[in-house]
Amino acid sequence: MDLDAVAEWSRYVVVVAVLGYLAAWLAFCAEAGIHSRRRRAVTTAVPERELVGVASSAAAADAPAEPPAGSSGPGDTELEQRADRLGRLGRGVFALATLVLAVGVVMRGLGTERAPWANMYEFSITGTLVASIVFLVLARTVVGRVVAVWAVLLIFVTVGLAATFLYVPPGPVQPALQSYWLVVHVGCAVIAFGLFTVGAVVSALQIVSERAADRGRTSGFGASLPNSVALDRLGYRLTAIAFPIWTFGPLILGAIWAEVSWGRYWGWDPKEVWALITWLAYAAYLHARATAGWKGTKASVVALIGYATVLFSYFGVNILFNGLHSYGGL
């Protein structure tokens, strides 16, 4: 088969992955809805049982013991089983969609005979593949199951945008990109991007969880999230892994490649500047945690600012600015 046809057909494989991510997201939404329904039922049952206990304490002393308000009755057990089935279905479909996306990325690489991350479309699908693999590792944990709705939604939107608005037909790249440096330099950026993306979702949910706990909420979305401390710890670990990859790839290797290609290590190109801004933002996050003891909402806000610089470096710089990295745009 013609290699150009393989690269072109990879787009349709990616579209199938988009549909798979949508199905997984709907399953996770249904699972979250059932859990929310169970929590509301328990929350409304507690005051009613307290009123009955006050009004008929003497009669209750002689009555058979009843299960506490939060215990599992027949209906509650059925709802829990249904939620578990939906969760397993969502994780299975998500794993399948990730496999399909991996096939699409590989087809794009084979068809173009190079690393599949030379433009925004390819960077998006490969970076999302990394984020999907990271989430698959977390999906079996309690935290992963709870944040599934939002993580999968972000993955679905990113791949959907890539397959529609960001799509670029397969073709050769500029001579500056015809180098093994494309594999290591941009490859590290892709891995860091995927880790930063999952970390940003966790950090955003950590803020919601902490605020709900501070306000004493026992129901609603914030109360359904894992403990803010667990979310804070997970967001920190993801960032701590991504940061050295970003340091090594976009900054150090990028400077070496720039000297090889353009005869200088640093030229204040917009992409270089924003890669440095991203590095400084996440360095401030890690430094604040290590020295000032920042945790919780304050640290998560800094992490989200760092991710905002990642997004601007990716979308804003490629679309709004002209520079030596303009070939990475649409």
Q: Which of 323, 269, 279 is nearest to 305 (CA)?
A: 279
Split at pLDDT 50, 70, 90, the class of 298 is very high
pLDDT at 64 over 70: no
Contact predicate 35/224, CB 8 Å: yes
Residue given tokens 């002689």 in the structure block = 62
The two counts, helices (H) then strands (E), for the chain are 14, 0
Tens digit of each residue's pLDDT (9 = 90 or more) over 26-48: 999 998 888 777 666 655 554 44
pTM of the model: 0.80
Q: Which of 115, 45, 109 is nearest to 75 (CA)?
A: 45
Q: Which two tokens stand for residue 173?
A: 């790249």
pLDDT at 283 over 60: yes
